[in-house]
């Protein structure tokens, strides 16, 4: 891979057949590159990318919730990623100044 592919998790979340197929291809390539491709992994990929029935969707998401911006801060691991990103931006030397030019 000469580039960073789209996140398979994001591609699967779109629920579009073309994006799901792309996610499966990315995961297969990653498993092959890491030397862990096996029949078990292939079976798990097939199950992961299989189109779910409405009943299966309802069972997987009983509250039928949609995620929003604030869900970025809901989990501890997500909070650390967001905090690190914000601190990196804040202390980066090339960030735009809010105070204006100093003489």
Question: Following CA atoms 30, 32, 37, 42 in sequence, which dihedral angle do they give, to the nearest 10 degrees?
Answer: 60
- Inform me whether the pLDDT recorded for 46 exceeds 80: yes
pLDDT at residue 103 in the model: 47
pLDDT tens per residue, range 65-75:
666 777 666 66
> Where does the pLDDT of residue 56 fall: very low under 50, low under 70, confident under 90, or very high at 90 and above?
confident
pLDDT at residue 64 in the model: 61
- Inform me whether the pLDDT recorded for 79 exceeds 70: no
Q: Whole-prediction pTM value?
A: 0.51
Average pLDDT over residues 19-25: 90
Residue/partner pairs of 90-93 with CB below 8 Å, 24 or more apart = none
> Where does the pLDDT of residue 86 fall: very low under 50, low under 70, confident under 90, or very high at 90 and above?
confident
Q: Encode 25-52: b = buried (16+ Cβ within 10 Å), e = exposed.
A: ebbeeebeeeeebeeeeeeebeeebeee
Q: How is the chain split into domains, by residue range? A: 1-51
């Amino acid at each position: 891979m000469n580039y960073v592919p789209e996140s398979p998790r994001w591609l699967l979340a779109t629920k579009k057949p073309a994006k799901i197929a792309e996610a499966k291809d990315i995961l297969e390539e990653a498993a092959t590159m890491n030397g862990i491709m096996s029949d078990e992994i292939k079976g798990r990929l097939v199950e992961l990318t299989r189109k779910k029935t409405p009943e299966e969707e309802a069972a997987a998401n009983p509250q039928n919730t949609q995620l929003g911006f604030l869900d970025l801060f809901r989990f501890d691991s997500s909070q650390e990623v967001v905090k690190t990103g914000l601190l990196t931006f804040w202390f980066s030397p090339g960030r735009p100044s809010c105070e204006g030019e100093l003489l």
